[in-house]
Structure 1
């Protein structure tokens, strides 16, 4: 096609993006509005330079529609997650127009980037899983939304520019959404600006819907059947769970405090690191890859918690590092030392999707047993205040600190009893009379009479 026709196609996406920027809800927030207009200006300037140059050089541009199952299937599954999650956290529904706007922006950016580097553009559903995956883990608040567009742009740029030869085929090194999530997560950590995102709220509210672990398990099955990613998800889950069991046996408390595997980490094990294009090729390699992701979450959670940084970043940081290691992992899996553990030597008659189905059957049994043991699911002993009260009384590792977090949260939510318990903890454990009096006063104001008595007792 001539450059003018290519420009008209790009203009359709840009014009659609402009329409979102003119919505009343966008114009009501000046910073959000100018985030849109700034992105529009970049896209228009890029289009003018690109198609003006193409016209002068008499380039012939081509466009091909290539729908790939891994893209539209993942998009459908992620849409189901947004629908279920949003029913229990309305911020998801309230932000639907921003997600759709990101999709339009992503198509415009991807088209311009491809035609800037070559004459051919493959139109597909790829922007859907990239945008949805990004928004399942991190999105910026409206006042800072220009960072959201920058994060998407970085993901597409990384996919296009950071490439290598993998088993004789040139492909992208990094999972696009994971790479941009890691870069922006590091930026937020280093600047201490986590509060300009919904990151904390996302990690917390993904637990709001009932039976969310089961829902994610079921949602993941179609992709596991079609693309054989069970060999990554199952080892990641089991490695993290077994570590949690060992930690509990050693310390008497839970590593992640209120679960063996936080729901947001469980999300990551199904939806973030399982891109077949950026994973090892061998069966054993994928199992090692999954186990390393589980261990990476554990290690990063410890580092982030020790540094006083929000722990939800733990699932976002290790994926690009593992992406770089996949060829090394495959070579290690084929070494003399590890070859004897290669599961591909078992059940050789099971190939293709029959083998995928066999792994799904095994994963179903493992998930059912783990759920029965409260390894995953809505209920966990670490969610119980009495458990942490006993652990604190026994001076278990970090127990009193976490008990204080629980009491503080419930006190802020209006529990006079929790405020009284918080004051008692501050007075007796931390010897902080000022903080204790403030907590008792809050409890008294909420109508919990023992807190009123404790004010007089601690003052006198």
Structure 2
């Protein structure tokens, strides 16, 4: 085996040793089960690379690196990191996760490297693992005692990316958004086993609003991704359909569909930084619009379905993304059929979607301003009003008494004696 090949194996070894060293910091070392999770992950990686190294040595095969720095990866990662920074300023557990985020990045790079070297000779190195890890952690963390499942979830995401592929536009590519695949799969398992309390999922979904003007913040940083990767139609279509469906529901029932918002902040985050992966979404403008409408409708339906089943509703934004990824080729086919059909093409159905991306962004800004004017983003929402829910509960409206109880519980926890009676 060539000297260069022996040298490249020093990279995963260094990453594995660094992961082991991170287990010695106080944030990790003070929790025995968390420390064991780190050591177990390091041991698996070390055994794998030793076995792979011996295989390469026996077969005289080589392993190497290829560098591919894609703006899609580092710009997404930068935007996601900005969310962590702003959100964590107002909810300290986010900053408390910093060492665990670093550990996941070390694990992800090593796991992905060994996985690719197991299947081929070269590993494409770049910023790819960053948006996968950040996206996963923006929506779901396992608690310290169960953190080995976080490493497992990361590994499943990369395995899905590597093994579950199809031919699209003449190119073999992964079907699923890697983070959405693992998030969706683990969400189903957590729901089926009624073990959501092993995660910070509920807290993550509800604490984004602790950051002032979080909707405006997400809108502004989302413009960066929209400008560079033309995914505006996905986010805008999803937001538009959710806003419309929520407004219709409130008009007919008199209470908000999502109880304390028109579009939950975590869903607003998802339609900016989860469903919009350029690699696993449609390429055509009309396809992107359809994709976004499907996401918004899926979230709307899943929220009611999960609530009816007694499952946590914060999974609504996660479960539909893998299904949407599977629908991409059918959406592409539908768009192609519309373009080829003389009657449908004569209706010019593509016109709303075929404008330049700058016009799409301008239209999205107008929509966001409209939503804000109607109180659907930042600011006090009618669902935050105690008298509103007291009246709705007395009228026997859906979920009104449960919402009233949850508000009174918050007041009680804040030492408001009247709410504890």
TM-score range, shorter chain: over 0.9
Poorly superposed stretches of 4+, deviation over 6 Å: none
Give me the whole-angstrom Cα distance separating, in 1, the residues matched to 2:352 and 2:149.
48
Question: 1:250, CA displacement in angstroms?
Answer: 0.9
Map residues 101-120 of structure 1 onto 2, 5 A cutoff.
101-120=103-122
Query: What do the CA deviations read for 1:168-220 (whole angstroms, capped 9, x no partner)?
Result: 11110000000000111111111111111111110111110000000000011
Give me the whole-angstrom Cα distance separating, in 2, the residues matched to 1:32 and 1:88.
25
Q: 1:20 aligns with which of 19, 22, 32?
A: 22
- Larger Rg, first or second structure (1 or 2): 1
Give me the whole-angstrom Cα distance separating, in 2, the residues matched to 1:267 and 1:183.
20
Which residue in 2 is equivalent to 1:406? Answer: 407
Question: What secondary structure does 1:137 align onto?
Answer: coil
Q: 2:143 aligns with which of 124, 130, 141?
A: 141
Map residues 155-234 of structure 1 onto 2, 5 A cutoff.
155-234=157-236
Q: Cα distance 1:200–1:406, how it changes in 2: closer, same or farther (>3 A)?
A: same
For the Cα contact (< 8 Å) 2:233–2:292, is it kept in 1? yes
Give me the whole-angstrom Cα distance separating, in 2, the residues matched to 1:45 and 1:347.
51
For the Cα contact (< 8 Å) 1:163–1:170, is it kept in 2? yes
Structure 2: where are the runs of 5+ without partners? none
Q: Cα distance 1:287–1:347, how it changes in 2: closer, same or farther (>3 A)?
A: closer
Which residue in 2 is equivalent to 1:385? Answer: 386
Give me the whole-angstrom Cα distance separating, in 1, the residues matched to 2:259 and 2:352.
38
Choose between structure 1 and 2 for higher RCO, CA contacts under 8 A separated by at least 6 residues. 2
Normalising by structure 2, we get a TM-score of 0.95
Question: 1:417, CA displacement in angstroms?
Answer: 2.2
Q: 2:293 aligns with which of 291, 294, 308?
A: 291
Which residue in 2 is equivalent to 1:427? Answer: none
Which residue in 2 is equivalent to 1:363? Answer: 364
Aligned length: 415
- Note the aligned Cα RMSD (angstroms): 1.6
Question: 1:297, CA displacement in angstroms?
Answer: 0.6
Give me the whole-angstrom Cα distance separating, in 2, the residues matched to 1:22 and 1:392.
52
Give me the whole-angstrom Cα distance separating, in 2, the residues matched to 1:80 and 1:270.
13
For the Cα contact (< 8 Å) 1:3–1:55, is it kept in 2? no
Give me the whole-angstrom Cα distance separating, in 1, the residues matched to 2:107 and 2:26.
19
Give me the whole-angstrom Cα distance separating, in 1, the residues matched to 2:352 and 2:370.
23
- 2:239 equivalent to 1:237: yes
Which residue in 2 is equivalent to 1:53? Answer: 55
Tell me whether 377-386 or 33-42 shows the greater mean CA deviation: 377-386
Give me the whole-angstrom Cα distance separating, in 2, the residues matched to 1:347 and 1:253.
33
Q: Cα distance 1:363–1:343, how it changes in 2: closer, same or farther (>3 A)?
A: farther
- 2:41 equivalent to 1:10: no
For the Cα contact (< 8 Å) 2:27–2:99, is it kept in 1? no
Give me the whole-angstrom Cα distance separating, in 2, the residues matched to 1:307 and 1:347.
37
Give me the whole-angstrom Cα distance separating, in 1, the residues matched to 2:347 and 2:202.
39
Question: What secondary structure does 1:67 align onto?
Answer: coil
Query: What do the CA deviations read for 1:369-421 (whole angstroms, capped 9, x no partner)?
Result: 111111222321111111112222333333223222222332233222223xx
For the Cα contact (< 8 Å) 1:333–1:339, is it kept in 2? no
Give me the whole-angstrom Cα distance separating, in 2, the residues matched to 1:339 and 1:49.
58
Question: 1:274, CA displacement in angstroms?
Answer: 0.3
Question: What secondary structure does 2:124 align onto?
Answer: strand
Question: What secondary structure does 2:173 align onto?
Answer: strand
Which residue in 2 is equivalent to 1:458? Answer: none
Question: What secondary structure does 1:99 align onto?
Answer: helix
Question: What secondary structure does 1:206 align onto?
Answer: helix
Q: 1:33 aligns with which of 35, 38, 57?
A: 35
Q: Cα distance 1:401–1:18, how it changes in 2: closer, same or farther (>3 A)?
A: closer
Tell me whether 333-342 or 356-365 shows the greater mean CA deviation: 333-342
Give me the whole-angstrom Cα distance separating, in 2, the residues matched to 1:342 and 1:55.
61
Give me the whole-angstrom Cα distance separating, in 2, the residues matched to 1:343 and 1:211.
36
